[in-house]
Amino acid sequence: MNVLFLSISSFESINTHGIYPDLLREFIKNGHKVYILSPAEKIMSSSNLIIYESGSQMVKVKTGKIQQTNIVEKGINTILVEYHYIEAIKKYYCDVKFELILYPTPPITLPNVIEYVKKRDNARAYLMLKDIFPQNAIDIGMMSKSGITGMFYRYFRGKEKKLYAISDRIGCMSQANVEYIIAHNLEIPAGKVGLCPNSIEVRDLSIDEQERIQIREKYGLPLDKKIFVYGGNLGKPQGIPFLIDCLKTQLENSKVFFLIVGGGTEYVKLKMFFNEIAPENMRLMHSVPKEDYDRMIAACDVGMVFLDYRFTIPNFPSRLLSYMQAKLPVLACTDLNTDIGKVIIDGGFGWWSESVDARTFNNLMENIITADLKVLGQNGFEYLNHNYSVHNTYKMIIDQILSD
């Protein structure tokens, strides 16, 4: 089967590790040919770039800036991606007949590309729903249903509905996502929506005690404290003001150390807090290379997940998987609508609290630092193997497509 994967996030190589390259390699392993369209903002020439890797062909399509730019430029260039992608398909894939189109959200702005390929090749279209936009922007105050931004909301909501309509199947990250999509889009047949969780090619990234000591010494991290780590995006969805409130409750706790690693639009708020307080049991680091990040995570004791309390949509952050792969138990502080906390508790690999009152976070600390973290971490790794391997997700996609 010829599979077309559409993404507007940077996709450097199918041989890297991540939820999308891991899944596409699983398709290749099962005898399929994978074709990829990905933006190339940094190409200096006027032409696109073609990359051939085992079992795949990727066209890096020259686009305007989509990442790390202002919201106006990002919005315009995201909309224009459709035109660039259709032209690239006509030029590079004119003689390829696609049986399956795979595409994640974000964005929701590729329905014309999907529609073009569906009509041309009679292909099946599978949406991997990773983001429910524009409602997530409404939830955290980045957009409104009225006023000036109301026009943008109505435009993007129309795009969202069109994307759902032209998709033959919609795969959601969790059961809460399935229920949300069905409840808020009554025109979608319930049988069209199923599970397609974030997944990876499972690797045991835990480390032994000797390496743990070496890594902690390398980065100047304490050897005698329980290290709580947060790694990933530091933006509005993560509820950074609440994270700061939680950190404030731990300033005098001599048993713990907090490591925050990442970057994003709200990084400056954390930087200001660290500059003002200069906490002795905490450290803020900007993004580090993936390989270094994975080993640093493995040298810690507990992974943390934060989501803004205002979300009405059920987010399910993929950073959970990196903690589970390193055999770290997880502490999640989120809104009430996501089911990530339920998964963590039912799976026996961590704790959950609502991201409203930092005192609840503080009250959990003593239970966490006295728990058997190795047993909890092993529980998480086993749960990962059984529920979030790309092999399982590949089978879900194939079974859902073939059942039609």
| Prior bond of 197 cis (ω within 30°) | no
User: Which segment of 35-49, 203-217, 270-284, 321-335 scores lowest on mean pLDDT?
Assistant: 35-49
| Domain of residue 318, CATH code | 3.40.50.2000
Contact 329, 349 (CB under 8 A): yes
* 362-385 pLDDT tens trace: 999 989 999 999 999 999 999 999
The string of pLDDT tens digits covering residues 313-360 is 999 999 999 999 999 999 999 999 999 999 999 999 999 999 999 999
Do 153 and 65 share a structural domain? yes
Give yes or no: residues 192 and 338 share one domain: no
Sheet holding 56-61: strands in order across?
Answer: 49-53, 56-61, 33-39, 2-6, 100-105, 124-129, 169-172, 193-195
Same domain as 254, residue 195? no
The number of residues making up the chain comes to 404
Please state the domain count of the chain. Answer: 2
**Distance linking the first and last C-alpha atoms of the chain:** 16
Q: With pLDDT > 70 as the criterion, what percentage of the chain qualifies?
A: 94
Q: Is the pLDDT of residue 403 over 80?
A: no
**Whether residue 124 is found in the same domain as residue 227:** no
Residue 301 structure tokens:
């004791």
User: Cα 89 to chain center, whole Å?
Assistant: 27
CA dist 102 and 211 (Å) reads: 39
Give the pairing of strands 49-53 and 56-61: antiparallel
Closest CA to 89 of 123, 61, 127: 61
Q: Report the alpha-carbon distance of residue 233 to residue 369 in Å, rounded.
A: 25
- The CA distance from 127 to 108, in Å, is 10
Same-domain pairing of 244 and 348? yes
Give pLDDT tens digits for 165-224. Answer: 999 999 999 999 999 999 999 999 989 999 999 999 999 999 999 999 999 999 999 999
Q: Are residues 163 and 220 in the same domain?
A: no
Q: What is the DSSP-derived secondary structure letter of residue 299?
A: T
Which pair of structure tokens corresponds to residue 373? 């973290």
Do 344 and 394 fall within a single domain?
A: no
Q: How far is CA 159 from the centre of its chain?
A: 21
Q: What is the pLDDT of residue 7?
A: 87
Distance from CA of residue 394 to its chain's centroid? 18
Work out the percent of the chain whose per-residue pLDDT is above 90: 71
The strand ranges marked E within 41-176 are: 49-53, 56-61, 100-105, 124-129, 169-172
For the segment 291-295, the average pLDDT, to the nearest whole number, is 87
Same domain, 189 and 310: no
**How many whole angstroms separate alpha carbon 316 and alpha carbon 356?**
18
129 and 252 housed in the same domain: no
pLDDT, position 47: 66
In the structure encoding, which two tokens stand for residue 67, read together? Answer: 């990442």
Which residues are paired to 231 by β-bridges?
261
How far is it, in rounded angstroms, from Cα 214 to Cα 306?
Answer: 28
- Predicted confidence band at 41 (pLDDT cuts at 50, 70, 90)? low
Picking from 146, 136, 186, the residue whose alpha carbon sits closest to that of residue 165 is: 186
**Cα–chain-centroid distance for residue 373?**
25
**pLDDT band, residue 10 (cuts 50/70/90):** confident
Is residue 164 located within the same domain as residue 245? no
How many other CB atoms sit within 10 Å of the CB of residue 95? 5
CA distance 258 to 282: 5
Other C-beta atoms closer than 10 Å to the C-beta of 99 total: 15
Q: How many helices and strands, by DSSP H and E, does the chain display?
A: 15, 14
Domain residues for 240? Answer: 209-387
Do 282 and 194 share a domain, yes or no? Answer: no
Q: Is the pLDDT of residue 396 over 50?
A: yes
Residues 171 and 302 in one domain: no
Q: What is the pLDDT of residue 44?
A: 45
pTM of the model: 0.90
- In the chain, what's the furthest Cα-to-Cα distance? 65
The pLDDT score that the predictor gives to residue 42 is: 58
